[in-house]
Structure 1
Amino acid sequence: MSLEVIGTYAVGISLLIGAGFALVGTIGLLKFNDSMTRLHAPTKVGTIGIGMLLLASMIHAFVFGDGSFHEVLIMAFLFVTAPISANFIAKVNIHRRSCETPPPPPQDDTWSTLNVPEADRELAAPEKG
């Protein structure tokens, strides 16, 4: 098998995987009930799907043409901006109170810190031996 045949199979497999992920992301976007659960489909699954489509484009460019690094820049931009935009959308939904808010944290000094409650100090102490 020549490099062109292997490249063609790699491009085909990448396109199928990317299209499958994009399809699952689209179905999830349409099927989920509220905006907070809808966030997962385009940001998680869609990013991987678009990444595979761009990978197919890169393989095709390097096997059959001169090669191109534009896709790497697109992937980097996509992987950086998708989580940030999802975070902003989630914050807007929480501030608008259009979703269930998480329960308030307990009122003590050990929640979300490295402080250990007095009752658990024995369990948290490293064993000497």
Structure 2
Amino acid sequence: MSRNRTHDGGGPSQRQLRVGELIRRALSEVLARGDVHDPDLNRMSITVGEVRTSPDLKIATAYVLPLGGRGQEDVLKLLARNKAELRRQVASRLALKFAPELRFQLDETFDRLDDTRRMFEQDAVRRDIEE
């Protein structure tokens, strides 16, 4: 049995999901309030779509996207540059035994939704669905 799966092999545990959501909310609040001492980061509006945690809760991967989708690489660099302070800020808002290491990746959910929408608009796909 894999350590990062629930007993039925169906994905992250309830604990991972709960802690991930708590971290997402705290991180979103820190970024929205501009609590980080980096004016470049504070100038950006960043959406935190999801946070996934490792099974031991020591690593949290935040899926982020700048508002409007522009400056994605800049956002990742700024977040990486400030990850120690972000980790402290998030930890101060949560009552966790360990402050997780924060990692950042671009949230590609919206791109996948657009691709799926375009696929469903194709004539051949619509014919198959309607039959």
Give yes or no for TM over 0.5.
no
Q: TM-score, normalised by structure 1?
A: 0.28
TM-score, length basis structure 2: 0.28
Report the structure, 1 or 2, having the larger helix content: 1
